[in-house]
């Protein structure tokens, strides 16, 4: 922990050279110090500083930190503080626990097979458009017991909201409000249908809560809205990053294809280096001292987990994938009480996606002249496209 | 050696029972539990250390 002596008035998040090289991009952000003010917010970039904020929700509040998303309903549980937050997580954690996800695994593998088999005979694909963009929404619909036919309409709404709201938005947007209204209308219909005929799904389980634990309609829609914003494009992005690194690095790919036990270590390392939610906001509740620098009360503080995940003080060889060192606790799924609610589901989705892809397409590379770029700035860091080529196989 | 989970720090990342299923299990919320009394046999010391390193909250503690 040292003094912040870097002149930070020149800092612009959008200037970080992120599009082709996140190592350079996050080094730019970290170069301004572990705690600094610039570009309209405070930034925490070291592992120690980020962890301190995550573990002190009484100092770093989430309640007003997500106002830029423009949700008319409470974003449960991400935009809540203790003690309310605790009660919601007690209800929600068991619904997304590993033992619940185990029961979904066969169905998720089946759906992955259908998606991938659709392009095996082409000998080429765009991972993002043909696969990564579709699968997480199917998983959400499956988890909530909703019809898979609604997938494309659902994706259209969610992508519009995510693209036009979030960190890049400076004021409420009428178009976003209109599309959000359509999504809420759809979700409201789903809630009513599940009230009439409940199933073994997560939405029915929430609707079945009774007495003091029962949720209001606003709470249920707020949760659905949040899962739509947080649970779909993040997994889409991460599938893209996983296959990007595998396609770029022949040795890495051969090692992982040859030993499927390495898929999970690979996921940990890629989530550490390419977290899809790289910056997580908080608002200070009082004057707070972090690493010797005082942040006043009421300030927007951005926890740069992507930079913390590359902190050389915490991680050796911080900028490279090391399958033999994947057991290093990272912040890719956040930390503290707001640890990603869907992290167990996300890890499983990613593992099954890589396994089923490799089962059908074990050898592949980037298409000629392809130089995949991420969208920047963007709330969810993701590749625009990922064109791959491979040996075509007959469709099973 | 003995392994413990500091319950006040654990937030359910689930790394311990994935890295060292011989020492930890998942509870119904997906948080980590110690299997048995937490005694670590010599052959499991390495995987116990990996679980300590893998916990993002520093909630897994190994005592000699």
What mean pLDDT comes out for the span B17-34? 97
Chain B residues with beta carbon closer than 8 angstroms to that of A93? 12, 29-31
The pLDDT value recorded for residue A174 is: 82
CA A292 to chain centre: 31
pLDDT of residue A176: 83
Among candidate residues A7, A59, A47, A43, the one with its CA nearest the CA of residue A301: A43
Give dist(CA A237, CA A160) in Å, integer.
16
Task: Say whether A85 sits in a helix, a strand or coil.
Answer: helix
Contact A99 B11 (CB under 8 A): no
Write the pLDDT tens digit of every residue in A249-305. Answer: 999 999 999 999 999 999 999 999 999 999 999 999 999 999 999 999 999 999 999
pLDDT band at A115 (very low <50, low <70, confident <90, very high): very high
The residues on B that touch A, with CB distances below 8 Å, are: 9, 11-15, 18-19, 26-31, 50-51, 53-58
Single out the residue of A96, A79, A146, A349 nearest to residue A237, CA to CA: A349
pLDDT at A166: 56
Hey, of B12, B47, B55, which one would you mutate to test binding to chain A, going by the most A CBs within 10 A of its CB? B12
Q: How far apart are CA B37 and CA A105, in angstroms?
A: 31
pLDDT confidence tier of residue A73, bands split at 50, 70 and 90: confident
Is the pLDDT assigned to residue A168 strictly greater than 70?
A: no
Tokens 């299990």, residue located: B25
DSSP code for A215: P
- How many CB atoms within 10 Å of residue A302? 24
Contact B15 A327 (CB under 8 A): yes
In this prediction the ipTM stands at 0.96
Closest of A282, A221, A280 to residue A72, by C-alpha: A221
Q: Does A82 touch chain B (CB under 8 A)?
A: no
H or E element: which one contains B18?
A: helix B15-19
CB distance A148 to A142 below 8 Å:
yes
pLDDT in tens, A134-145: 999 999 999 999
Q: pTM (2 decimals)?
A: 0.95
Residues of chain B contacting residue A339, judged by C-beta atoms under 8 Å apart: 11-13, 56
Residue of higher predicted confidence among A127 and A159: A127
pLDDT at A6 over 70: no
Touching check for A335 and chain B: CB below 8 Å? Answer: yes
pLDDT bucket at A171, cuts 50 / 70 / 90:
low
Question: Across the interface, which of A327, A328, A339 has its CB nearest the CB of B12?
Answer: A339
Average pLDDT, chain A: 93
Task: Please report the beta strands in A46-162, taking only residues with DSSP state E, as ranges in sequence order.
Answer: 60-61, 124-126
The CATH fold assigned to B2-63 is Alpha-Beta Plaits (3.30.70)
Query: What is the tens place of the pLDDT at every residue in A330-366?
Result: 999 999 999 999 999 999 999 999 999 999 999 999 9
Chains A & B: contacts with CB separation below 8 Å: 59
Residue B11 in this model has a pLDDT that exceeds 80 = yes
Helix (H) or strand (E) holding A142: helix A135-143
pLDDT at position A175 is 84
Name the architecture of domain A75-276+320-389: Orthogonal Bundle (1.10)
Q: What CA–CA distance (Å, rounded) separates A395 from A119?
A: 8
Task: Report chain A residues whose CB lies below 8 A from the CB of B18.
Answer: 264
Write out chain B residues lying below 8 Å of A330, CB-based: 56
To test the contact with chain A by mutation, choose from B30, B60, B61 the residue with the greatest count of A C-beta atoms within 10 A, namely B30
């Amino acid at each position: 922990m040292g003094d912040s002596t870097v002149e930070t008035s020149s800092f612009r998040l959008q200037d970080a050279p992120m599009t082709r090289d996140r190592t350079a991009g996050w080094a730019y952000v970290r170069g301004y110090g572990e705690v600094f003010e610039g570009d309209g917010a405070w930034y925490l970039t070291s592992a120690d500083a980020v962890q301190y904020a995550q573990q002190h929700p009484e100092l770093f509040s989430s309640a007003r930190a997500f106002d830029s998303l423009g949700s008319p309903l409470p974003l449960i549980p991400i935009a809540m503080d203790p003690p309310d937050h605790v009660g919601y997580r007690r209800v929600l954690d068991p619904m997304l626990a590993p033992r619940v996800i185990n029961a979904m695994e066969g169905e998720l593998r089946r759906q992955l097979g259908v998606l991938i088999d659709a392009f095996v005979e082409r000998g080429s694909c765009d991972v993002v458009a043909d696969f990564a963009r579709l699968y997480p929404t199917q998983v959400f619909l499956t988890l909530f017991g909703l019809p898979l036919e609604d997938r494309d309409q659902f994706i259209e709404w969610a992508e519009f909201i995510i693209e036009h709201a979030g960190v890049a938005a400076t004021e409420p947007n009428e178009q976003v409000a209109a599309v959000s209204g359509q999504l809420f209308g759809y979700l409201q219909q789903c809630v009513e249908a599940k009230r009439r005929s409940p199933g073994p799904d997560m939405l029915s389980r929430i609707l079945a809560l009774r007495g003091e634990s029962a949720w209001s309609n606003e709470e249920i829609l707020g949760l659905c809205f949040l899962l739509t914003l947080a649970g779909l494009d993040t997994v889409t992005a991460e599938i893209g990053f996983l296959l990007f690194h595998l396609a770029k690095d022949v040795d890495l790919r051969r090692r992982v294809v040859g030993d499927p036990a390495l898929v999970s270590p690979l996921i940990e390392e890629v989530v550490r280096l390419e977290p899809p939610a790289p910056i997580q906001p908080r608002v200070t509740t009082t004057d707070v001292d972090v690493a010797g620098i005082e942040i006043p009360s009421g300030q927007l503080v951005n926890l740069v987990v992507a930079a913390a995940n590359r902190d050389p003080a915490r991680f050796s060889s911080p900028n490279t994938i090391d399958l033999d060192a994947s057991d290093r606790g990272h912040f890719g799924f956040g930390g503290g009480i707001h640890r990603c609610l869907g992290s167990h589901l996300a890890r499983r989705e990613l593992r099954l996606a890589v396994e089923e892809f490799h089962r059908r397409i074990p050898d592949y590379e980037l298409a000629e002249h392809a130089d995949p770029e991420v969208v920047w700035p963007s709330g969810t860091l993701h590749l625009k496209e990922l064109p791959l080529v491979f040996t075509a196989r007959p469709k099973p | 050696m003995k392994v413990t989970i500091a319950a006040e720090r654990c937030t359910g990342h689930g790394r311990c029972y994935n890295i060292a299923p011989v020492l930890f299990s998942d509870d119904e919320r997906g948080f980590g539990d110690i299997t048995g009394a937490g005694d670590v046999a010599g052959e499991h010391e390495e995987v116990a250390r990996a679980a300590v390193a893998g916990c993002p909250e520093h909630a897994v503690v190994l005592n000699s």
